Amino acid sequence: MADSTETHTETKLPFAGTMPEWGNRADRHPPLAFVDSCLRGVGQILFANNPVSGLFILLGLFAASPWLGVATLIGLVAATAAAHLLRLDRSRIRAGLYGYNGALVGGALATFLIPEWSPIVILYIIAVSAMSTLVMLTVSLLLVDLLHLPPLTLPFNLVTLPSLLATFAMTHIQHGPLLARHVQEPINTTLRETANAVTGGSLSSALFEALFRGIGQIVFADRVLSGVLILVGLLVWSRIGGLFALLGSMTGLLVGLAFGGEGVSEYHGLWGYNAMVSAEAIAGVFLVCTWRSILYGLVCAAATTVAYAGLGIWSGTFGIPVLTLPFCLTTLVFLSVSRATNRFRAVPLSKVTSPEEHLRLPR
């Protein structure tokens, strides 16, 4: 994710970019610095090292479900606190890089485990979220230090998928109805048929809802309002980043429609969220935004959508969701290829801030 709190040329719009001046003020007050780190951690789910963006994403979570919002906060605080207790690199903690995986863990376990507000589920969220910090450190040593690639949300997937699988062997932690082993059946529901059922037959309304649900689904928020709030938060940080989040979700939806994906999952944004973060990552976060990286990012988003469909069949046989594994695997492949050619300008991981600021990096 975005790997630095510094900015190279201050963005003129209020609250845009990484807000380094605010970060410096927060550093004078440790409790405020911790809150700032946590908010940046929420923003880092979508590469936004920006506390205001993180606040809007949290609002989107609470708009979907108070339990989802609280569970995400629990995971976020547990992961960030673990990084402090281990005395890990302070600049990375302050940039939110040890918080975003824990936030996603909290959201995922709140979504797939029952009952809501269960003390044992809360304890499970704390434990798994803290573990995500250890896994983040290990994955970073391999990817960042050796391969110069970002860890993305791999730590989240590596701790959450086994933790969900483990619930099939537990009696005190129950998995909800969304976790169920199944085999692929013939697809017999299209988005148009879904639109007839949920929007009174309006395909345009169904497409609009699917687009914004796709944005919200990155944090398990299946509501249009959540997607709108998250997009606003992204636009606060970066207009380019917000644009490609929207285009990425649209790409995933269109690829799903073109290949005849299952209509209910399309409507609920499940075909869009992996593509959204892939497009954002390639088109301006880890590569400088040019016409080449834009096209490359959209191709990556399309490839991620196909990977989502394929990996979804595999994960479904185990009764678990695919989470953000399609995004991680596809984006890492595309970033690796980009570093083997001179067609793209890679952003050094230590210089990642916002797409607008990357345009001003020296060649």
Q: Write the DSSP assignment of 57-109 as a string of letters.
A: HHHHHHHH-HHHHHHHHHHHHHHHHHHHHTT--HHHHHTTTTTHHHHHHHHHH
The CATH code belonging to domain 20-175 is 1.10.3430.10
Question: Residue holding tokens 């003390």?
Answer: 119
Sequence ranges of the chain with CATH classification 1.10.3430.10: 20-175, 191-356
Out of 3.40.50.12160, 1.10.3430.10, 1.10.1040.10, 3.40.50.720, the CATH code matching 191-356 is 1.10.3430.10
| Helices (runs of H) and strands (runs of E) counted in the chain | 17, 2
Instruction: Give the tens place of pLDDT for each residue, 316-345.
Output: 889 999 999 999 999 999 999 999 999 999
What type of residue sits at position 176?
Answer: G
The answer to whether the beta carbons of residues 281 and 273 sit under 8 Å apart is: no
Coil vs helix vs strand at 318:
coil
Residue ranges in the chain whose pLDDT is less than 70: 2-12, 182-188, 199-201
Instruction: Give the tens place of pLDDT for each residue, 288-311.
Output: 999 999 999 999 999 999 999 999
